[in-house]
Chain A
Amino acid sequence: MSGRLHSASRRTARWLASEAWPPFLTFVLLMAAWEVIVRVFSVPEYILPAPSAIGRETWNVRSQLAIHTWATLSTSIAAFVTTILLTVPLAVVITAVPLLRKTIYPLIVLMQAVPKIAVAPIIVVLLGSGEAPKIAIAFLVAFFPLLVDTTTGLNAVPAELLDLGRSLRATRLQEFVKIRFPTAVPFFFSGLKVAVAFSVLGAVVAEFVQSDRGLGYLIVVSTSYWKTPLAFACITILAIMGLALFFLVSFIERRFFSWYSHA
């Protein structure tokens, strides 16, 4: 176990050394080019602030930003957890009950044609103010990829394996616990990685529509007052937040479920 972990961290170190620096260098060059262009052409700050201006603004309002970051992060995480708690049982039920797979599942797929951002104001009307409508909107944005991936995973069991289970007269519970769940693990995690990013997206959309805090709220307010550097600061923080959550999910997968993806 520790040996595997050790070799994993060595792999990560090698990856950072060989794979990570070209995109990092490119990023630094792009930022430098941005800075130079803004300065050379004297672009007004309210249209396009230079990276240095964004950095300065971030530092100046850091305590305020921290409050709004926390608001968005907590909404995102609450929505992400809600998504997992509602979607996994739904995927299990859809897999276990053929009638539901034939009736409900196609409807859920069709419902994806509805742009959920357009539904957001209606959710606010339904659920009022506070955290509930925000979590509901973020859930609507995030649950679908997780549902599809988890359902696919639960059904990705080779027919022979199900035959083997049946020949041993495995119960339905044994079939799920010993065969279907472990088979679904890699699918579940690829769904989680999308869902975690969509949870942040959903939370920001909800803050656009109705909120008095959060980075989404701050973007709307700052741009309406032409405080563009602040909006860019919010966007930067959102990007970092999305990446951090994505890597957290990847880390949990590799740390605790490394063998599951070797099926």
Chain B
Amino acid sequence: MIRIEGVSQVYSMTGSEPVHALQDVSFDVADNQFIALVGPSGCGKSTLLKIVAGLVVPTHGILTVDGARVDGPRRDVGIVFQSPVLLGWRTVLENVMFPVEVLGLDISLYRKKALELIELVGLQGFERKHPSQLSGGMQQRVSICRALIHDPSTLLMDEPFGALDALTREEMSLELLRIWEQRKKTILFVTHSIPEATLLADRVIVMSARPGRVAADFEIKMPRPRTMATERSGEFVEYSDQIRRVIYGGRA
């Protein structure tokens, strides 16, 4: 379980007012839960992900994972960014193997796992291609494989489909759900899209900006597996509207 307790993050720059990226954020994430973080730009969602990854130590507050305090980068996370940031000089397979090499794990054992993952995301046959030969959606699939290869317990996704076109985006969301059903992980998923958050998550945490704090925490009690049909259900519309009301206040 991930526990975020009273976390604040202040960036102080010389000559200007300190920026409160996060203020007193607290919530728990149960194992294998899918959490979507929604909010306007500048609400500190990305900072929160970095804190959970241990890349940033919060100015105030505590992050614990299974009771142990996190005070540095922890290898038990996989990260997917908005852009795939693949290594252009490596093939698809070599990109997926990157964490294995850095972590010094058994190459031949993980090669098999890498090939399985590549197949899981539907890229079989592209193992020896280079990123420049793939579409944006395919590149992002590779980066998801790279995040999963060392079998981390937590997957951190920072607007992973934000740079994709609308059609690919929808397809990738359902794909992610399928992967998650097969390989259960705790997922923290940052997005600007309310429908995306509602469709994917067990819980949608809405954040407000400047300072970033938790504005609302919705449990999405829709049955799984969810499909495109889910988006047409009354429940889905109701949840989306509730979230929208929190974000836009009286304006919606």
Contact = CB atoms under 8 A, between A and B. Distances in A.
Interface of A: 158, 160-161, 163-170, 174, 178-179, 182, 185, 257, 259-260, 262-263
| Most chain B C-beta atoms within 10 Å of own C-beta, residue among A164, A182, A259 | A164
| Most chain B C-beta atoms within 10 Å of own C-beta, residue among A160, A168, A170, A260 | A168
24 contacts: A158-B83, A160-B79, A163-B55, A163-B79, A164-B81, A167-B53, A167-B55, A168-B73, A168-B75, A168-B150, A169-B73, A169-B102, A174-B102, A178-B101, A182-B87, A182-B89, A185-B89, A260-B88, A262-B88, A262-B89, A262-B130, A263-B87, A263-B88, A263-B132
Given A163-B79, A178-B102, 15 more contacts: A160-B81, A160-B85, A164-B81, A164-B85, A166-B73, A167-B54, A167-B73, A167-B75, A168-B102, A168-B103, A182-B89, A259-B88, A259-B130, A262-B89, A262-B130
Interface in B32-79: 50, 53-55, 72-75, 77, 79
Given A167-B55, A262-B132, A179 B75 contact: no
A170 B102 contact: yes
Q: Main secondary structure on chain B at its contact with chain A?
A: loop
Interface in B97-131: 98-99, 101-103, 130-131
Nearest to B81: A160
A171 to B, nearest CB: 8
Contacts of A260: 88-89
B87 A168 contact: no
A173 to B, nearest CB: 11
A164 B102 CA distance: 10
Nearest to B84: A160
Contacts of B55: 163, 166-167
A161 B85 contact: yes
Nearest 3 CB-CB pairings of A with B? A263-B88, A262-B132, A160-B81
Interface in B219-249: none
A168 B99 contact: yes
A180 B128 CA distance: 22
Interface residues of B, number: 25
Interface of B: 50, 53-55, 72-75, 77, 79, 81, 83, 85, 87-89, 98-99, 101-103, 130-132, 150
A110 B3 CA distance: 51
A172 to B, nearest CB: 12
A254 B152 CA distance: 38
A158 B158 CA distance: 15
Contacts of B79: 160, 163-164, 167
Nearest to A161: B85
A165 B81 CA distance: 13
Nearest to B88: A263
A166 B54 CA distance: 9
A231 B55 CA distance: 63
A259 B102 contact: no
A258 to B, nearest CB: 9
A165 to B, nearest CB: 7
Nearest to B101: A178
A165 B79 CA distance: 10
Contacts of A174: 102
Contacts of B77: 167
Contacts of A259: 88-89, 130
Contacts of B73: 166-169
Contact of B102 (A158, A165, A185): A165
Contacts of A178: 87, 98, 101-102
Nearest to B152: A167
